[in-house]
Amino acid sequence: MFIWTKSRKQKLYFSLILGITLSCLIVWLKDDIATSSLKRGDFPAFYAAAEIIYSGRAADLYRPEVQREVENVHWASLNGTYYAFAYPPYVALLLSPLALLSALQAKVLFTILLVLSLAGAAVVLRRLRPEATTFELFIAMLCFAPIFSAVPAGQNTSLGILLYALSIYFASKRTHWGEVLAGVALGLWLFKPNFALIALGFVFLGGRYRMLLGAMLPAFVYYVAGVLVLGFDWPKEWVEAIANFAKLDLIFNRHQMVSLSGVADAIVHSLELGPRASVVVYSSLFLLGLVVFATTAFQFMLFVTKKRSGAHLEHALYLLAPAVILLSPHTLYYDLGFLAVPFARYQKVTTDRDFHWLFILFFIVFVLTFLKQIFPIQPLAALAVGGYFWTLSAVRAHLESTSHEAG
């Protein structure tokens, strides 16, 4: 007999929603705007960019002293420090309307948009996995610690999840226009270029030129928006800002990174390894990255060909985010939220044992996320590696089963 009946699961979900709501309310009332993760988080960087653009100082967008000045006006607790904004200039232009609001009002609106994006992702994933309900998928994603911590902190993970899920959904239509729209969704993801460019690289290797054509539309709009901010040569200034940001990011955030390059850097510096040992670490994780890249490229090209029965494009796309998490140079623990997409599609929860194992996994991830600051090397990186190979195995198993059915 299945203990977790539909009625009991619904009660559990509503209890989780109530617990999350009460927890957020307590934190909101207890903390002030200066330090609260709900009222501040990493949002100052986005708000500063919005205000710089809105006030007509676009030329100063990437000047650290200007970002510091603006952020410290609204969040005095930063005490002269600041959160660096290193996104492309078109992101700052899109954010500029937030400057019409106070810092707190803008943060509330931004958080609401992130929650709505997560709800939208649940709606899309429901269409990809009809046996699950939208409510179940929304609760599962919200209770996944990397996502739960990203939303109130002002990270745009849930918006990326929505666009990624939309890309897979459109590709699942298996039409020419479906591929174009899938590319548009990936192109919109270029607000996070270190992820979207890698994903589009695999699309190129797979020969899905309709998707690339679709991605060119938002890419062109983004470029024009960047021109309006910094002129035609804005990519040069942005790349320089990225280079400066990357150096600081490795110093302050290497312990939170789950990308292979970030983990390698954390191991070398936290253990204070010598030159020879450092070469071994960097080489080992580089080889692992090479394996991930080669495997993804090979499987992607294999899956998207029409020579194999059941080898459809949407299943290849499930590999993109897990690969990007490992290969991107800037991937932090909250980006693990993208694993929710392939997990929602392929993970079967049909028995009490499945449900209990799911609880255990979520609990372990929650504890590790809560304690993330105490680890010099981020243990959640193991989830990134495991998530990739689990997805690869799940996708291949699905394609083999559909091939047998077709045969």
Q: Is residue 397 part of a domain?
A: yes
From 22-31, 78-87, 283-292, 339-348, the region with the lowest mean pLDDT: 22-31
Q: What value does the mean pLDDT take over residues 58-87?
A: 92
Q: Is residue 55 part of a domain?
A: no
pLDDT, tens digit (0-9, with 9 covering 90-100), for 138-154: 988 988 889 988 998 88
**Cβ within 8 Å of residue 238, ≥6 positions away:** 62, 86, 88, 89, 226, 230
Coil vs helix vs strand at 257: strand
Amino acid 131 reads: E
Residue 132 has pLDDT above 90, yes or no: no
Residue 217, CA atoms < 13 Å, CB-side half-sphere = 11
Confidence of residue 283 (pLDDT cuts 50, 70, 90): very high
- What pLDDT, on the 0 to 100 scale, is given for residue 33? 45
Chain center to CA of 356: 26
pLDDT, tens digit (0-9, with 9 covering 90-100), for 202-237: 999 888 899 999 999 999 999 999 999 999 999 999
Helices and strands (H, E) in the chain, number of each type: 19, 0
Q: Which domain holds residue 315?
A: 255-407
Hey, what are 260's tokens? 């292979």
Angle subtended at Cα 56 by Cα 54 and Cα 62, rounded to the nearest 5 degrees? 90
Q: How many CB atoms lie within 10 A of CB 232?
A: 10
Identify the DSSP state of 59: G
Identify the DSSP state of 82: -
pLDDT, tens digit (0-9, with 9 covering 90-100), for 10-36: 655 665 665 555 555 545 555 544 444
Chain center to CA of 27: 25
CB 172 within 8 A of CB 165: no
Q: What value does the mean pLDDT take over residues 274-296?
A: 96
Q: Is residue 389 part of a domain?
A: yes
Hey, what are 394's tokens? 């799940």
Q: Is residue 391 part of a domain?
A: yes
Q: What value does the mean pLDDT take over residues 360-385?
A: 91
Q: What value does the mean pLDDT take over residues 239-265?
A: 91
**Mean per-residue pLDDT of the chain:** 87
Identify the DSSP state of 83: P
Residue 242 has pLDDT above 90, yes or no: yes
Residue 305 has pLDDT above 70, yes or no: no
Q: Is residue 289 part of a domain?
A: yes
Hey, what are 360's tokens? 């255990």
Q: Is residue 380 part of a domain?
A: yes
b/e for 378-406, b at 16 or more Cβ within 10 A?
bebbebbbebbebbbebbeebbeebeeee
Residue 49 has pLDDT above 50, yes or no: yes
From 161-175, 308-322, 367-381, the region with the lowest mean pLDDT: 308-322
Residue 273 has pLDDT above 60, yes or no: yes
Phi, psi of 192 (to 5 degrees): -120, 75
Residue 194 has pLDDT above 90, yes or no: yes
Q: Is residue 6 part of a domain?
A: no
Confidence of residue 1 (pLDDT cuts 50, 70, 90): very low
Coil vs helix vs strand at 332: strand
- Report the domain count for the chain: 1
**Cβ within 8 Å of residue 289, ≥6 positions away:** 260, 261, 326, 327
Hey, what are 295's tokens? 């495997």
CB 340 within 8 A of CB 147: yes
Residue 93, CA atoms < 13 Å, CB-side half-sphere = 17
Q: How many CB atoms lie within 10 A of CB 274?
A: 9
Q: Is residue 7 part of a domain?
A: no
Query: Rounded to two decimals, what is the model's pTM?
Result: 0.91
| Gap between the Cα atoms of 292 and 392, Å rounded | 10
Amino acid 196 reads: A
Phi-psi region of 248 (alpha: psi -120 to 50; beta: other; left: phi over 0): alpha
Phi, psi of 257 (to 5 degrees): -85, 145
Q: In the chain, pLDDT over 70 holds for what percent of residues? A: 87
Q: CA nearest 99: which of 145, 53, 151? A: 53
CB 337 within 8 A of CB 161: yes
| Gap between the Cα atoms of 336 and 343, Å rounded | 11
Angle subtended at Cα 158 by Cα 156 and Cα 159, rounded to the nearest 5 degrees? 70
Coil vs helix vs strand at 75: coil
- What pLDDT, on the 0 to 100 scale, is given for residue 390? 96
- What pLDDT, on the 0 to 100 scale, is given for residue 321? 93
Q: What value does the mean pLDDT take over residues 184-206?
A: 95
Residue 2 has pLDDT above 60, yes or no: no
- What pLDDT, on the 0 to 100 scale, is given for residue 78? 86
Q: In the chain, pLDDT over 90 holds for what percent of residues? A: 63
| Gap between the Cα atoms of 175 and 253, Å rounded | 42
- What pLDDT, on the 0 to 100 scale, is given for residue 10? 60
H-run or E-run covering 186: helix 176-188
Cα torsion angle, 111, 116, 120, 125, sign: positive
